[in-house]
Amino acid sequence: MFNLSKKDLSLLILVAVLTLFAPFILNPFPAGSAMAQFNAGYPDLMQRFVIFGIFAIGFNILFGLTGYLSFGHAAFLGVGSYAAVWMFKLLSMNVIPAILLAVIVSGLFSLLIGFISLRRSGIYFSILTLAFAQMMFALAYSVLTPVTGGETGLQLALNDPRILGASQTPEGNIPVPGLFGLEMRDSADLVIGSWVFTFNVGYYFCALVLLASFYLSIRIFRSPFGMMLRAVKSNQQRMNYTGLNTRPYTLAAFVISGMYAGLAGGLMASMDPLAGAERMQWTASGEVVLMTILGGAGTLIGPVLGAGFIKYFENIFSKINDNVLHSWFSFLPDGLENAVVFIIHPFIGKGWHLTLGILFMLVVIFLPGGLVEGGQRIRGWLRSRKSKDNGSASHETNPAE
């Protein structure tokens, strides 16, 4: 089915189930309960899970397959956002043309930057991509202000010369992005007892794009092109000695990865029609590196898991404050309660980066393959335990053996 092996098809179905049923999976606790703090099933955060998952999938095609570590991939994310917002301002509020333009423009930029950067490898390649990204950030922030909006960012306005749509609604408001009559911000709530599940049009549109992107990444990983990229990562110098020119393959991987980043940027602008230079900073590029390594570089589902893990910490774990901690440990005596809150305080709220850093360090030390390797180890342990149980049962039923 879909020209995929049984294992890959199972992985695709798993991702589809996780994304389609995310409103239920991410809201395990009833609203109003003390544990509702950990619910993540609201549209804005679910959209971020999916969009940054696409970003990480594309980055993994470059880093996971070829071993080329780019520190400037956020530049293509920002370029895609700017292109999408300009399409909203000039053509229509339909998200399809905006996303297509974001992918095309990001692909052209990645072709130019990749053609120059891939003349070097290793740390020199990483420094070149970082330099290009910082140059583009500086241009977007100050020099190209008429195009990018500078410090305030590029936004929609009531006087936009939109060709295939009205510049403002009958109520005098700025139109919102949509898809053939469906607005991206439209939502429907399902109330079951104390639980509230929100189904958002924008999220499910992003989820379908994620599934298509994930399917394409599977085909790339399993194709002869993907095998060639793995050979480049294994020993590029030996391939060059055989007379095979690897640059077209690495450049193609760089461009595909940049187009994925542009797709993520276009989706970000489609959910919130605003583009700013902060999306092109080196910290954003470092974030996608962390997502890929944390989830498992070179694996299919690893980048998606890493993106969800980091965005969960950023948006949920960071909101835990001292008041929440006091409500959790109120059953303790006052002195002990204050001591416990004092100990945990540096690791929550604004200190969530410290907790994430410790977890990232532990994963790198004990699980070099990321969260995927952790899942594989658990599965292997369960299988070995099951086989031992079956073996002991067989020995009891056959004492003669």
Q: How far is CA 321 from CA 31, 318, 327, 382, in A?
A: 18, 8, 10, 37
**Percentage with pLDDT > 70 across the chain:** 97
- Beta strands, E only, 290-342: none
Residue 400: per-residue pLDDT: 37
The DSSP bridge partners found for residue 178 are: 94, 183
Mean pLDDT of 348-364: 85
- Beta strands, E only, 160-290: 178-179, 182-183, 187-192, 195-200, 274-275
Burial of 43 (0-12, 13-18, 19+ CB in 10 A): buried
* Exposure letters 237-265 (e unless 16+ CB within 10 A, then b): eebeeeeeebeebbbbbbbbbbbbbbbbb
Burial of 394 (0-12, 13-18, 19+ CB in 10 A): exposed
Pairwise CA distance, residues 272 & 278, whole Å: 15
What are 224-262's pLDDT values in tens digits?
999 999 999 988 888 888 888 889 999 999 999 999 999
Checking if the pLDDT of 399 tops 50, the result is no
What are 365-388's pLDDT values in tens digits?
888 888 898 888 888 888 888 877
The continuous run of DSSP H or E covering 155 comes out as strand 154-155
What are 12-28's pLDDT values in tens digits?
999 999 999 999 999 98
Tokens 């020199």 — which residue? 124
* Contact present, 185 and 202 (Cβ < 8 Å): yes
pLDDT tier for residue 395 given thresholds of 50, 70 and 90: low
Pairwise CA distance, residues 371 & 291, whole Å: 10
Checking if the pLDDT of 208 tops 80, the result is yes
Across all residues in the chain, what is the average pLDDT?
Answer: 89
Residue 401: per-residue pLDDT: 32
Look up the pTM and report it: 0.92
pLDDT tier for residue 1 given thresholds of 50, 70 and 90: low
pLDDT tier for residue 306 given thresholds of 50, 70 and 90: very high
Pairwise CA distance, residues 179 & 184, whole Å: 7
Pairwise CA distance, residues 370 & 354, whole Å: 19
Length of the chain equals 401
Q: Residue 316 half-sphere exposure, CB side, CA atoms within 13 Å?
A: 21
Checking if the pLDDT of 397 tops 50, the result is no
pLDDT tier for residue 152 given thresholds of 50, 70 and 90: confident
Residue 51 token pair: 């969009």
Pairwise CA distance, residues 286 & 70, whole Å: 9
Residue 398: per-residue pLDDT: 47
Pairwise CA distance, residues 347 & 356, whole Å: 9
Pairwise CA distance, residues 348 & 342, whole Å: 11
Q: Which residue, among 316, 396, 264, 289, has the nearest Cα to 68 in the 3D structure?
A: 289
* Contact present, 207 and 20 (Cβ < 8 Å): yes
* Exposure letters 331-344 (e unless 16+ CB within 10 A, then b): eeeeeebeeebeeb
Return phi, psi of residue 3, to 5°: 60, 35
Residue 65: per-residue pLDDT: 93
Residue 333 token pair: 């005596």
